[in-house]
Structure 1
Amino acid sequence: MEFKEVFEKYEALVAEVDKAFNKIAEQTDGGIKCGKGCSDCCHALFDLTLVEAVYLNHKFNEKYSGMERSDIMQKADVADRQVHKIKRRAFKASQAGSSATEILREVSLARVRCPLLNKDDLCAVYESRPLTCRIYGVPMNIGGEAHSCQKSGFAPGKSYPTMNMDTLQSKLMELSEELAASVNSSLRELPEVLVPASMALLTDYTPEYLGANTGEKVEKPAPAKAPSEACSTCNEDKSACATCNYSVELGAAPKQ
């Protein structure tokens, strides 16, 4: 299956995210410590949206074959089993009455080596890596709370330019809806599916898997809007920048 139009929109979003990352790096006076060989983010536990998973799967299969592909797939199988165990423990903790905060804290401390991380601690698909991998080094606003890589040089209590993850996630969901609509999927919840990178590699995204339907047409969602030139974090024009919550304090909720 071809997803040329959706992939082009995803790549445009990637370009905007890279631009925002570079802009934040320029404004943080050495706060971002990312460098070649640092693989801290390659052991973090996170999920990919549908569009990211299909795109990563496509680029991986395009680049690798033979023994190289087989070796990575074996590592993906091992990693996916580890992720499943972690999520299973989180589910049991939830059933036992643990708070969401406690569960999220435990999951955030989990370490699983990404199957795409090679023996030299370099990404096997670096140019096609997911958005979370691209922005890991900068401060992030997630649900009104500030987060940052522990290896970066950002100090608690200080304000820094920050990536709005909620906005970014919304854009990824919109693109996932477009991807599902492009195959006229009969699976209504398909755009909401989230999977780790290991599962994205292992999955065979066939028409059957995606619920492709040649029958009745599914209403196509409105195209995702590209970020504005204002600061690459939203769809608003520059007039909204004065009231935009662009900077947050690490360790504190953003000022309203």
Structure 2
Amino acid sequence: MEFKDIFEKYEAIVAEVDSAFDKIAEQAEDGVKCKKGCSDCCHALFDLTLVEALYLNHKFNEKYSGMERSKILERADSADRKIHKIKRDAYKASQSGKTASEILKEISLARVRCPLLGESDLCDLYDFRPLTCRIYGAPMNIGGEAHCCGKSGFDKGKQYPAVNMDTLQRRLFDLSSEISESINSSYKQLDEMLIPASMALMTDFTMEYLGANTGEKASPEPKAAPEPAPSEACSTCSEDKSACADCNYSVSLGQAPESD
């Protein structure tokens, strides 16, 4: 299946994210330490929204076949088994009385090698890597709390531009909702799916898998998502709207980041 128009919207968000990352790297001096050969973010545990998973799967299928494909899928299967064990242990911990914050802390420290990380410690789908991979080295505001890569050079107690991950995630869910509506899926919560990269590579996203109702009248074209409200930092800004990624995306001055 192809979702060309929706994928183009996703690629537009990717371009905004890359621009925001570059702006943060420029403004934050030596805070961003990302460089070729660093693969710290390639061992972090995170899930993809439906639109990201479908896009990654599409590009993987386009690029790889034969033995190369088989090797990556073997790595994906191994990674997925480890992720399943981590999530199972987290569930058991919740049943034993551990708090959500304690469990999330343990999960954040878990290390699972991404199946797309090749033998030379370089990403095999670098140009099409998910948004989390693109942002990882910059400060992030998640649920009102600041986070950043443990290898970064940001100082505690200082303010830096930060990517508002809640805003970004909302936009990804909006695109996922467009996918669900475009195929008139019978799965009412399809757009809320969160999928590990390993599973995104291994899954055959057929119309049947996505619950498409091809024999029924398709849902009307969804309305465009409203522009995110500008941050407090923007309210005092005298620059033209096009001058700052914060005005049309999600970069804002956040609290001092802390290494996870």
Aligned with 2:105: secondary structure?
Answer: helix
Aligned to 1:192: 192
2:21 corresponds in structure 1 to: 21
Mean Cα displacement is larger for which, 227-236 or 74-83? 227-236
Higher mean C-alpha displacement, 115-124 vs 209-218: 209-218
Structure 1 residue 223 displacement after superposition: 2.5
| Structure 2 letter corresponding to 1:105 | K
Cα deviation for residue 17 of structure 1 reads 0.4
Deviation per residue, 1:178-200 (Å, 9 max, x gap):
11112121111100000110000
Deviation of 1:219 (Å): 4.6
Is 1:249 aligned to residue 250 of structure 2? Answer: no
- Structure 2 counterpart SS, 1:162: strand
In structure 2, relative to structure 1, the CA distance for the partners of 1:69 and 1:226 (3 Å cut) is farther
- Where do residues 1-256 of structure 1 align in structure 2 (5 Å cutoff)? 1-214=1-214, 215-224=216-225, 229=242, 231-233=244-246, 235=248, 246-251=253-258
Change (3 A) 1:251 1:31: closer
> Residues 157 and 251 of structure 1 are in contact (CA less than 8 Å); yes or no, is this contact kept in structure 2?
no
8 Å CA contact retained: 1:76, 1:201: yes
Change (3 A) 1:88 1:7: same
Name the CA distance, whole Å, in 2 between partners of 1:105 and 1:217: 43
1:48 match: secondary structure: strand
In the TM superposition, what is the alpha-carbon distance from 1:83 to its structure 2 partner? 0.2
- The code of the aligned residue for 1:173 comes to F
Q: Percent identity?
A: 66
In structure 1, list runs of 5 or more residues that go unmatched: none
**What is the total number of aligned residue pairs between the two structures?**
246
How big is the alpha-carbon RMSD for the aligned residues of Structure 1 and Structure 2? Answer: 1.9
CA contact (8 A) 2:39 2:122 kept: yes
Tell me, which stretches of 5 or more residues in structure 2 are unaligned? 229-240
Give SS of 1:163's match. strand
- After TM superposition, the structure 1 stretch with the greater mean CA deviation from structure 2, 93-102 or 193-202, is 93-102
CA pair 159-90 structure 1, distance change in 2 beyond 3 A: same
8 Å CA contact 2:41–2:136 kept in 1: the answer is: yes
Deviation at 1:233, TM superposition (A): 4.4
Give, in whole Å, the separation in 2 of the partners of 1:108 and 1:186.
Answer: 33
Question: Which amino acid letter does the alignment assign opposite residue 217 of structure 1?
Answer: A
Offset at residue 251 of structure 1 (A): 4.1
